[in-house]
A = this chain, B = another copy of it.
C-alpha cells in the first residue's frame, strides 16, 4: 500500500511474466495505456519499466513498444574470492617466493610482453586449519614502484599489486576454470600426492585497453574445495 506507484507497476508486470500470462517476445501494453491503467503520469510508468529493463525482464524498441525478454539461462554470477576467506580464525597465507625473473615463453605470451622485459613472480599458499588449501602463482610485468616488500605483498590481492599503476575501476578480470592433476612443484607446494585432482583457476588482469597487466594461476586441492555460482535471473 505504502509502496511507490512505480513498484506496483513493476510487481504487476513481473507477475504477468512469471505466471506466463505474457511470454517472451510478447509486447507489454503501451506506456500510455499503463498510465491510464495505474492512474499515474508517464514518467512514473517509465520508471517502473526502467526497473524491469535493468532486471532483464523486458527490453524496448523505440517506436514500437516494450517486449518480454527471452531469459538468458546460461548467465551466472560467480563469487570468486581471491584471498579465500582470509582474516578468519585458522586462516593463514604463506609467502613462498617473490622474485624478479625473465619471462618464460608461456609467461611472455600471457602477459603479451617481450622476453627482455622483467616480471615479478609471487608464489603463495593459503592455509586453513593447518591444511594447505590453495597454491597461488602470480606474474606481473615489472615497473618502478611495484611493491616487492614481503609485508606489502603477502596479503595483497591481484589488483592491489598493480594498483599503483592502474586504477582498479579501469581493470577487467577474467577467469578460466579447469581441472588438472597435481604434479611436481604444484604437488610439493600443496603437500599432496602426484595425481590428485586439482581445480585450476587462471586469472588475467586487463587494463582499459585490454592489455594484460597480470597473470595468475591458483590450484585448489581437495574435492571439497570448489566454486559456487548462481543464475543471474531473478
Which residues in A have some Cβ–Cβ distance to B below 8 Å?
A: 17-20, 43, 50, 54, 57, 71, 73-82, 157, 159, 167-181, 195, 197-200, 208, 220, 223-234
A-B contact pairs, 8 of them (CB 8 A): A71-B169, A76-B78, A172-B230, A176-B227, A178-B199, A180-B223, A181-B197, A197-B197
Return the chain B residue nearest A170 by Cβ: B18
Determine whether the beta carbon of A175 is less than 8 Å from that of B74.
no
Q: Residue of B at shortest CB range from A43?
A: B43
Of the candidates B171, B179, B224, B225, the one whose C-beta lies within 8 Å of that of A197 is: B179
Residues from chain B with Cβ under 8 Å of A73 in the complex: 82, 157, 159, 168, 173
State the majority secondary structure of interface residues on A.
mixed
A80:B74 contact, CB within 8 angstroms: yes
Chain B's closest residue to A54 (CB) is B54
B75 near A78 with CB under 8 A, answer yes
Residues of B with C-beta under 8 A to A19 = 167
Contact present for A220 and B179 (CB under 8 Å): yes
Asked if A177 and B226 make an inter-chain contact with CB atoms under 8 angstroms apart, the answer reads yes
Chain B residues, CB < 8 A from A174: 228-231
Tell me if B81 and A226 are in contact (CB < 8 A).
no
Chain B residues within 8 Å of A168, by CB:
71, 73
